[in-house]
Structure 1
Amino acid sequence: MTQGPLHGRHALVTGGSRGIGVAIAERLVAEGALVTILGRNATRAGQVAKAIGAAGFVSADVTDRNGLTEAIRQAEERQGGVSILVNNAGAAESAPFLKTPPEQFQRMLSVNLDSVVTACHAVLPGMIAAGTGRIVNIASTAGLKGYRYVSAYVAAKHAVVGLTKALALETAETGVTVNAVCPGFADTDLVRESVARIHEKTGRSDAEIIADMVRDNPQKRLIDPREVADCVYWLTGADAGSITGQSLAVAGGEVM
């Protein structure tokens, strides 16, 4: 653990044991933060925490309000009050709108929006009392524009962006900032698994599938998770104290 700019600050990263979450957690550790990884699978969360030198881990299903609140309480009991919260946990399901049942909308809202609400409820009182805090919500370009066949996901991520703006206004005079980072398609294990499934079903090459995924990205490439982590790190630092209520796209110019 380094004596970096975030030395001694407790950062909690939900969904921190996979993909973008790991990259964010690893970057915050490198900058000296005491990072708690929160993941649904305790074994995986523990392994990742050990591998990257995180301060610890807790386990919870973020759709379980009581379980998530208790996990955050445990993290704060071990490492002190959370001063950096990164709401990274999320999920996407796809289907044409007319084949998307109400239950799918509820699932997407539960994992992508309700979990953010629960985590913010848990940490905001302590941040306000301390007079400082950083909340970064990992939304998506789907929170800034529409996509076909993922209407429930798009609705949930738009809600996260709206919540970010509202909380930023409510906390503007408290020393707390609230921002969103909105990645495009990123080079994660989940995306690679999706590519493999599409390949198996269609026989298309991986390159063709990825090209289709990134067709709206002017740079025509998947986003490196470390690029998202860099953006998150900047938002958590002292130099970003006047940045609040913003939704920053890390998407190669897809959203301008």
Structure 2
Amino acid sequence: MPTVTAAILVIGNEILSGRTQDANLAFLARRLTGIGVRLREARVVPDDADEIVAALDALRSRYDHVFTTGGIGPTHDDITSACVARAFGVPLERNPEAVRRLEAHYGDPAMLNAARLRMAEIPAGATLIDNPVSAAPGFTIGNVHVLAGVPTIMQAMFDGIAAGLKGGDPVHARTVTCSLAEGTLAEGLGALQDRYPGLEIGSYPWFRNRQFGVSLVLRGTDVAELDRATEELCGLVRSLGGEPEVGGGDA
């Protein structure tokens, strides 16, 4: 199957200032990998219309899927929907179904004020993404999926669309852990990567209990090739005086 790729665009001044720590990237990366979608890029941009539109145009032309998080609430700095409409060259419209969902959620018409109605403004032609937590929907237009920034809401939205996302072959992983230093393994590890260009081989050093070591992670779609490379890597570790521990690891 062909490789299916994705990018994540995190939107919000609060992320760039450090006031809010992003929790959405790790969740989306794990879930996308699990359905055979390779996350290739992640960007963080401020609440600036020109920068959001430029990032959208760059990412949606390069990847199969783009996921945005943040900027679809009721306040003046929630400008993601308008920026997506601008990027696609379509008007921003008050979506009747989005209004209906908000009305059902708030119950009292007085609660659905002008600010909250902004959350029903959706680019023309977009398909709504259900929000089972707080009703205000996200949406998909083209290959762009617009999700909330609040992690619990974003995760619920993603759960609703995950089954419909087209993925490629699932990525499998093996992790080889040992107490050797990266510099000891570097030459042999590079040669192993050259022999297996279809795999991604990463080296992640650690320090615990006053001891250095490294976790070597191999990723790929061909399980047989992955197992052969893992066996060779274990042989390399042993030849350098280490004792490898093999685990499945996260893809």
TM-score (norm. length: structure 2): 0.37
Q: Is the helix fraction higher in 1 or 2?
A: 1
Give 1 or 2: higher strand fraction: 2
Larger radius of gyration between Structure 1 and Structure 2? 2
